[in-house]
Amino acid sequence: MSSKRHSILPPVSSSGPKPPVHFSSSITIADSAILTGTHPIAIHGESVVHPRAKLDSLAGRITVGRRCVVHERSTLGAVFGASGRITEAAVTLGDYVTVEVGAAIEAGETVVGEGTVVGVGARVGAGAVVGKYCTLTPHSEIAAGEVIPDFTVVYSNGMRRPDKRGVAELRNKGMARQIDVLRRMIPSNPTKFA
């Protein structure tokens, strides 16, 4: 890579404690991803963590399933409401989950089910349980503690409708394909976090 283009962003802050990590050998994690916290962070096989994605395990352990894609500037395990902090507040992503750019998933036994897409800038509140193969459209918000059934589309300021396309299989295949490409695009450096 040429050094002509410099990022205007400030350097990635490496402040905070370094969390214990459990990485699968096949993951792709960018050098500039931010992993902080005290609880363990586990990332399973073939998942991709983009640069500047932030995984904060200060509140609880973070588990990312197989073949997930965590995009730039998204935050897993963010704590927004500092008042109601739970001692053990985990974030669990199932397999094939996409967390889009700038999305935030708050800590607090939050579960995002298999194949779900968390859209750009969306927010999943603490303790929410999102079902399998859901779609959260950009900037939609899931309140804390809410339970979203499987195959739900959350759109247009919180409206819900069932997804009847039946493309779950196809979507998984697409994800695998995308991860194939991403693996070639993103230089991985899991040893930095070990």
From candidates 26, 32, 38, 178, binder to another protein by CB under 8 A = 178
- Cα–chain center distance at 9: 21
Whole-number Cα distances in Å, 34 to 155, 183, 187, 190 = 30, 18, 15, 12
Q: Is residue 170 involved in binding another protein (CB under 8 A)?
A: yes
The helix or strand, by DSSP H or E, that contains position 174, with its residue range, turns out to be helix 168-185
Window 107 to 126, contacts with another protein (CB under 8 A): none
Q: Is residue 166 involved in binding another protein (CB under 8 A)?
A: yes
Buried b (16+ CB within 10 A) or exposed e, 136-151: bbeebbbebeeebebb
Site string for another protein, 129-148 (x = CB under 8 A): ------x-x-----------
Q: Is residue 189 involved in binding another protein (CB under 8 A)?
A: no
Give the span between the Cα atoms of 31 and 187, in whole angstroms.
7
For another protein, which stretch binds (CB under 8 A), given 36-44, 47-55, 93-101, 161-169?
161-169
Is the Cβ of residue 177 or residue 192 nearer to another protein in the bound state?
177
Give the β-pairing of 62-64 and 104-106.
Answer: unpaired
Interface with another protein by CB under 8 A: which residues?
Answer: 135, 137, 153, 155-156, 160-161, 163-167, 169-170, 173-174, 176-178
